[in-house]
Amino acid sequence: MDAGVLLLLVCCWKLTEESGEMGSDVTGETLTTATDFVIPTTSDQSTLQASFNNTNTATGSVLIQTVHVTTISTETEAALCVHSYEGGKTGMADFKETNTLRGFIEKERQGLYLLNKTINCLRKDAVDTVWNFIEGREERVEHLARNKTMQYEQALMEYVNKSKELNRFIDKHNSSAQDDLKVKDISNFEDKLRTFRNRKYQLDHLFTLINLYVKFGTLTGSVGKKWEEYGKRYDVSVLEDIARDLEEIIEVLKEHLRVAKALLNFTKLFNLKLAFRSNYTYHLVDLELWESQLQNQTLALNQYKKILKEEEFRLLLGKYINPITQSVIFVIGFLGNGILLVVFAMHRDMRTSPNLMVLNLAVGDFLSLISNILLYDMLDVAGGVWNYGVGLCRVYLFVRHLCLGVTVYSIVAISAQRFFALTAFFNWHGFGCRLTKKYKSLLIIASVWIMASAIAIPRIVNAGVYNNWCRGYGFEYSDDYYRLVNSTDLVALCLLPLAIIAIFSAVTARRIKDSIKNMPGELAGKQKTKEARLLSSNILITLAVVFAVCYVPYFLYAFLNAWLTLEMDNSTHQLISFFTFSLIFANSCFNPIAVYLVSRKYRTYMKKYLFCKCRELLDQERRKISTETSTTAVTRM
């Protein structure tokens, strides 16, 4: 007996018990089982044997005997499923290779049966691979899944083509006796092929959605990491990368919505269910969800662009405008106060008791410029990172605010000194001990430094290194502390000193002008004295105005920012902070200029050191000074 025919009958019987159902995940219908093309189409095995016995005498084919099989081994079934399928190798065998017409037809039908087994195997592999890709979303698995589905489609096409070719062959040879061997279910397989192609269209869109979803997740994760990086480095280039990623995310979401809409419209048009239905696949085609994501990402992009614009302005401000402005202030203030200190050090006649307060002001301005501009800008260039410990951080912050306080209270002391110099009651004897002018001045200077220290100490109570930055307090401290510090600064370093300076300067200027009116103008040399006193009074008024212009905006804005929620964008805030910060230290440049305008001696020495005046011109200036009628020493210096 022919072993191949026997094996064929065993498989036919086995497959009558198992339906080779094609899951709805791929085709939505069932594949044809072996009973769809049993050779020949008879109701039982005895009839089958009789049929082949009849054909044995007519065609000389091999007799097929009845074999009773109850089981089939796993190895045998696996051998049947492993069909070496190669696409494109279709067509019928040469009729001359078979002994009879019926034997040839039987051989072709046996090939169709094995092809159907291959289709079932390919179907199972394709479904499993597609689910693996849906769950794992790996690119390698996607390629494998596409390859499996393509092989499955080609196998279906091959089955349909071979079946049609076999039927045409039977009709061509007018073998009406062989009509019972024709393939009867070609139309059924054609329907399955069309259904699978519909499912494949869905599958292609589903694969695209999965890839877009993976790309969306990758980009959003990248944005999150870059935002954390920006929070550490504050690098504008990181914000630019974030904006580019968000633009790409928006394009991905638009493409996702387009593909999802196309898929849903297709299923609605042909009244189909979604292929490979799961919570994840339904999530992929949730239009409301992805439209919401698109709106959120668009809003995020606009916000990041706004931040980027502000940061670009901050970059422009920080890299160009601020360094140039601070450099100009530092150079002018450093030279002016430095030359003033040199003049006091080199010329004994300048170290008078009234001039000690001017010297103290120059020291305060000089140190303030170094600590608040030079060191601050050096830290800013280094990225603001503090690597010197908490102790030095507190010392640095203390010195910054100490020098600022010394400058403020020195101006207050000079205004009071000028006022009391024109009154008769500034003859304090110091608890019964008469004090010289020098010791009075030293006592006032000591008081200035003590008050400045008292104002600076609260600034360092909670000072420390927070996020690698040297700050007066961390974010964990309440707003009450921030408000208390700024309120104290506004009152102690701005409003109260301004009130004292304004009152004393106004009264002193008024008295100087009254003294000019009572001075006879026809006397020799009195006109220049009047001019000197008038200039001194104007300088006092200007000193108060400049102090108000320089100090009030800085401390007032800090106070308002602490107590109120100011509705302004970050660029405006940066601009105001830069402008007020520059003003407060520009006052250090004005103080040497004021001394230069008031004091002729200082103006003479200033020309020597700054403009390299020759010695003859200096002697000439000294003679002019000695021949003039001097006014009160304090009001002149």
Instruction: For residue 192, give the amino acid letter.
Output: K
Instruction: Say how many CA atoms lie within 13 Å of 501 toward its Cβ.
Output: 27
Query: Per-residue pLDDT tens for 551-598?
Result: 999 999 999 988 988 888 878 888 899 999 999 989 888 888 888 877
Query: What integer pLDDT is reported at residue 625 of this predicted model?
Result: 46
Q: How confident is the model at residue 272 (pLDDT cuts 50, 70, 90)?
A: confident
Q: Which residue has the higher pLDDT, 521 or 468?
A: 468
Angle between the 570-598 and 355-369 helix axes, to the nearest 10 degrees?
Answer: 150
C-alpha to C-alpha distance for 623 and 616, rounded to whole angstroms: 11
216 occurs within a structural domain: yes
> What does the block give as tokens for 539?
């300088």
More confident position, 431 or 208? 208
Q: Are 176 and 239 part of one and the same domain?
A: no
Q: What is the mean pLDDT of residues 493-522?
A: 80
What is the domain count for the chain? 3
Both 293 and 163 in a single domain? no
Q: Is 256 exposed, middle or buried (0-12, 13-18, 19+ CB in 10 A)?
A: buried
Which CB contacts under 8 angstroms, 24+ apart, belong to 444-451? 444/357, 444/413, 444/417, 445/356, 445/357, 445/360, 445/413, 447/409, 447/413, 448/360, 448/406, 448/409, 448/410, 448/413, 449/402, 449/406, 451/405, 451/409
Last residue of a domain, one of 184, 218, 250: 184
For range 3-31, the mean pLDDT: 37
For residue 506, tell me if it sits in a domain. Answer: yes
Mean pLDDT of 479-490: 86
The confidence band for 634, taking pLDDT boundaries of 50, 70 and 90, is: very low
Q: Both 29 and 73 in a single domain?
A: yes
Query: Minimal CA–CA distance to 361: which of 331, 405, 422?
Result: 405
Over residues 205-217, mean pLDDT: 92
The secondary structure of 507-522 as a DSSP string is HHHHHHHHHHHTS-TT
184, 182, 185, 158: which is closest to 172 by C-alpha? 182
Classify the C-alpha dihedral 365-367-370-372 as positive or negative. negative
CATH number at residue 534: 1.20.1070.10
Domain containing 263 equals 207-306
For residue 370, the 8-state DSSP code is I
70 within a domain of the structure (yes/no): yes
Amino acid sitting at position 248: E
How far is the C-alpha of 152 from the C-alpha of 148, rounded, in Å?
Answer: 6
Residue 52 confidence (pLDDT): 29
pLDDT of residue 222: 93
Residue 146 backbone class (left: φ over 0; alpha: ψ -120 to 50; beta: rest): alpha
Q: What is the DSSP letter of 461?
A: T
| Weakest-pLDDT range from 44-53, 83-92, 466-475, 554-563 | 44-53
Q: Which of 25-29, 321-325, 393-397, 412-416 has the weakest average pLDDT?
A: 25-29
By DSSP bridging, strand 464-466 and strand 469-471 are antiparallel
Give, in degrees to the nearest 5, the angle at Cα 305 between 303 and 306: 65
Residue bearing the bigger pLDDT, 624 or 581: 581
The DSSP secondary-structure symbol of 630 reads P
For residue 112, pLDDT over 80 is answered with yes
Q: What is the C-alpha to C-alpha distance for residues 32 and 20, in angstroms, rounded to an integer?
A: 7
Confidence of residue 262 (pLDDT cuts 50, 70, 90): very high
Same domain membership, residue 369 and residue 300 = no
The SS3 call for residue 118 is helix
Structure confidence at residue 68 (pLDDT): 33
Burial class for 587, CB neighbours closer than 10 Å (0-12, 13-18, 19+): buried
Q: How confident is the model at residue 399 (pLDDT cuts 50, 70, 90)?
A: very high
Q: Report d(CA 189, CA 19) in Å as an integer.
A: 15
pLDDT of residue 596: 82
pLDDT of residue 258: 95
Question: How confident is the model at residue 106, as a pLDDT?
Answer: 84
Residue 387 and residue 293 in one domain: no
What per-residue confidence (pLDDT) applies to 7?
42
281 C-beta neighbours (distance < 10 Å), count? 17
Question: 280 by DSSP, 3-state: which?
Answer: helix
Can you state the percent helix, strand and coil of the chain, rounding each to 5?
75, 0, 20
For residues 169 and 234, membership in a common domain is answered with no
Same domain, 528 and 483: yes
Tell me which residue has tokens 């102790």. 391
Does a structural domain hold residue 325?
A: no
Q: Please report the pLDDT score of residue 198 as a whole number.
A: 84
Give Cβ neighbours of residue 298 (< 8 Å, ≥ 6 apart): 250
Mean pLDDT calculated for residue range 324-329: 92
DSSP string, 4-64: HHHHHHHHHHHHTTS--PPPTTTTSS----GGGG-SS--SSHHHHHHHHHHHHHHH-PPP-
> Is residue 90 a contact partner of residue 158, using CB atoms and an 8 Å limit?
yes
Q: What is the pLDDT of residue 3?
A: 42
- pLDDT bucket at 619, cuts 50 / 70 / 90: low
Check residues 307 and 446 and name the one with the higher pLDDT.
446
If you average pLDDT over every residue of the chain, what do you get? 76
Clarify whether residues 487 and 526 are in a common domain. yes
What would the mean pLDDT of 440-467 be, rounded to a whole number?
89
* Domain-located, residue 483: yes
Distance CA 539, CA 545 (A): 10
Range with top average pLDDT, 124-133, 252-261, 470-479: 252-261
Residue 435 has a pLDDT of 66
Calculate mean pLDDT across residues 204-223.
Answer: 92
Distance CA 118, CA 111 (A): 10
Closest CA to 16 of 36, 45, 42: 36
Q: Which of 289, 306, 323 is the last residue of a domain?
A: 306
Lowest mean pLDDT of 26-40, 148-162, 349-363, 497-511, name the range: 26-40
Binned at pLDDT 50, 70 and 90, residue 69 comes out as: very low
Amino acid at 452: A
pLDDT band at 256 (very low <50, low <70, confident <90, very high): very high
Task: Give the range among 214-223, 246-255, 542-551, 622-631 with minimum mean pLDDT.
Answer: 622-631
Tokens for 522, please give them.
């026809």
Residue 340 domain flag: no
**Residue 201: what are its φ and ψ, rounded to 5°?**
-60, -45
Mind listing the pLDDT tens digit for each residue in 126-152? 889 989 888 888 888 888 888 988 998
Does the pLDDT value for residue 228 go beyond 50?
A: yes
Using DSSP, state whether 471 is helix, strand or coil: strand
339, part of any domain: no
Per-residue confidence at 6, pLDDT binned at 50, 70, 90? Answer: very low
Which comes out higher in pLDDT, residue 362 or 138? Answer: 362
- Bridge partners (DSSP) of residue 466 are 469
**Residue 368 DSSP one-character state:** H
Please give the average per-residue pLDDT across 599-626, as a whole number: 63
pTM, rounded to two decimals: 0.57
Tell me: the pLDDT tens digits for 93-111?
455 544 577 788 888 888 8
Q: Domain check: are 222 and 179 in the same one?
A: no
- Does 416 lie in the same domain as 294? no
Task: Work out whether the CA dihedral 188, 193, 198, 199 comes out positive or negative.
Answer: positive
In the DSSP assignment, the letter for residue 477 is S
The yes-or-no verdict on residue 497 having pLDDT over 80 is: yes
Stronger pLDDT, 425 or 216, i.e. the higher one: 216
Q: How confident is the model at residue 480 (pLDDT cuts 50, 70, 90)?
A: confident
Is 510 a member of any domain? yes
pLDDT score at 526: 62
Q: What is the pLDDT of residue 333?
A: 92
If asked whether residues 465 and 368 sit together in one domain, one would say yes
Token pair, residue 476, equals: 């964990």
- Cβ atoms of residues 34 and 120 within 8 Å: no
User: Under a CB-based contact definition with an 8 Å cutoff, are residues 582 and 323 in contact?
Assistant: no
* Strand runs labelled E in 382-495: 464-466, 469-471
The reply to whether 451 and 564 lie within a common domain is yes
At 72 the pLDDT is: 36
pLDDT of 471 reads 83
The pLDDT value recorded for residue 231 is 80
Distance CA 152, CA 161 (A): 14
Segment 537-543 shows an average pLDDT of 76
